Amino acid sequence: MSTPTDTAPTTDPRAGRRSRRAVARSAGRERRIVGLIGLLALLVGAGTALLAFGVFGSGRAHRPLLDPILVDALRAQPLIWRIVALLVCAVLVVAGLVWAVRALAPERRPDLTVDAGPDTSVVVTSSAVAEAVAGQARTLPGISRARARMVGDEREPALRLTVWLAEDADVAEVCRRIPEEVLASATDAFGGRVLPVAVRIEADSAEGPRVH
């Protein structure tokens, strides 16, 4: 069970979105690129079908797809057009590799910057933040294990907290105490910094069902 929440009340409308992003790694950029490619393919396919059915004229449907003038230009300068085609293919290959690397790269674990005064700030490492929150969660009755990690980026960090419940755990009590004690303590420790958090609760069993 994953529950997005915040470590303190806030009027920032972006806090809810940041909390939801902490539930799982965002794939919005990849979905937009795939959607754009799919839309272009759909438009090309629809245009080809309309052309074949004679929507643009019965004579045009029987003509070559490429204009004869363009075909003559390609035949007149074959070397130039081959170089252009190779460059286009190289750009597509590089773009695909960059996309794949970005999609497969591990999630970032940003550090947390806390304002300590008008002219100073304190940077808390992501591992220190995660261990502090997970350690506080382990002290609650009914929680046998806990793990936390920072996600997002330096400008909009968030926290992902996973807790495993013991067999005799009171799920309702755990769900109540995590925001009131663990997340509230984190807010106090971080100088009142509102940190969006996604909490995932599971049964402490390698093969047991998840708690819903």
Q: What is the mean pLDDT of the chain?
A: 76
E strand residue ranges, the chain: 2-6, 112-115, 121-124, 143-152, 157-165, 196-203
Handedness of CA 25, 26, 27, 33 (dihedral sign): negative
For 64-79, the pLDDT digits (tens) are: 666 677 777 778 888 8
Give the pLDDT band (50/70/90) at residue 9. very low
Q: What is the mean pLDDT of residues 52-63?
A: 69
Give the pLDDT band (50/70/90) at residue 19. low
For 94-113, the pLDDT digits (tens) are: 988 887 887 777 777 788 77
Q: How far is CA 198 from CA 24, 80, 175, in A?
A: 9, 55, 12
For 110-139, the pLDDT digits (tens) are: 887 776 566 677 777 888 888 888 888 998
For 136-167, the pLDDT digits (tens) are: 899 889 888 899 888 877 777 888 888 999 88
State the Cα–Cα distance between residues 126 and 116, nearest whole angstrom: 18
State the Cα–Cα distance between residues 184 and 178, nearest whole angstrom: 8
List b or e across 66-103, with b for residues whose CB sees 16 or more CB atoms inside 10 angstroms.
eeeeeeeeeeeeeeeeeeeeeeeeeeeeeeeeeeeeee
* Per-residue pLDDT at 87: 94
Pairing of the two strands 143-152 and 157-165:
antiparallel
Q: Is 166 exposed, middle or buried (0-12, 13-18, 19+ CB in 10 A)?
A: middle
In angstroms and rounded to an integer, the radius of gyration of the C-alpha atoms of the chain is 27
Asked if residue 21 lies in contact with residue 158, where contact means CB atoms within 8 angstroms, the answer is: yes
